[in-house]
Amino acid sequence: MNLTAFLASTVLAVSPTFPAAQLQQIVDSGGASTAVLRVDAQSGAAGPVTPNAYFRIGSVTKTFVATVVLQLVDEQRVRLDDPIARYLPGVVPDGERITVRQVLDHTSGIYDYAHDPGWSTNRWRGADRFRHYEPSQLLEVAFSHPPYFPPGTGWHYSNTNYIVAGLLIERVTGRSYGAEISRRILRPLRLTQTSLPGDRPGLPSPHAPGYTSVDGKLVDATLMNPSLDWAAGEMISTTADLNRFFDALFAARLTSKAALAEMRRYVPATDLFEYGLGLQRFRLPCGTTVEGHSGQILGYTTYSTHSGSTHATLSYNPLPGGDASSAVIGVFTAIYCD
């Protein structure tokens, strides 16, 4: 099937109130090959994919990690304003001055290892995309660079922060961070379509392929070992599971109300969003704010959002050279503004 025919095949399974036209526009804009969307109990898809497709959630993983850390805060095993060195002595340079809170809200100043060439899952890495990486290797890259700023004096998104957060969970609990996410979140909420793949390069079926461009040619980038992202972005899920997760989170069924309030203490970040503890707060063009998290990993872009009683998760497969941003804004505007 050539690309034109590939993009022309479409499946939609929605009610009349679902923003189907806006969802379809993501594909019609040329910015994506497929897109799936769930708004509360309604789901739909555009392009050759089913609404229940699996996808890589990238940095939405960070919300799961932050939730476990806040559960440990509730259990009085971690304190947000303690230095990270109390829990990980000798691991983080200047860790006596960097707090757990600053790790979770990206005000630590720690350099992002993913900014180094060849160390980002948002870039084509050839055969290296199947390599296994240890968290210690990621920290070694990060700590070979000076920090962006002294702790607490600025904001800079850094995947390294959540490698540190994953290690914090492991040191405090004595179990892998993935085992704790499964034990504390996935099993209680019955998120059976959500997983931490580790070294497994594939996705469960059904799923849409992700693409990138290599030497001007469209290349299937679906398969990769996501250990390079580890606790910063390795997870796989579906729109239904992510909506269920955020519904439980914002209803304070995963943490205490006090811990949830700490997660929602947002600091200025970018022109697009503010950042809390594993949460982003976006302001739509109509003035409405939505909370949740976004995620990007080569071939997959995800937004899982919440406002009031509405939960909406969108995931799409961006195409090289395309721009789906206006169409994506149109989807969320239709959901939360219209």
Q: Which residues are tagged catalytic?
A: 59
Distance of CA 238 to the CA centre of its chain: 12
Backbone Cα Rg of the chain: 19
Q: Which of 236, 146, 163 is closest to 196 using CA atoms?
A: 236
Q: In the Cβ-directed half-sphere of 145, how many Cα atoms lie within 13 Å? A: 17
Q: Which residues contact 197 (CB under 8 A, 6 or more apart)?
A: 203, 226, 234, 235, 236
> Torsion angle of alpha carbons 269, 275, 276, 281, nearest 10°?
130
Q: Which residues contact 198 (CB under 8 A, 6 or more apart)?
A: 178, 226, 227, 234
**Owner of token pair 């302001």:** 283
Q: Which two tokens stand for residue 285?
A: 């063009």
Q: Which two tokens stand for residue 17?
A: 């109130």
Q: Which two tokens stand for residue 276?
A: 């809390």
Contact 39, 310 (CB under 8 A): yes
What type of residue is 316? Answer: Y
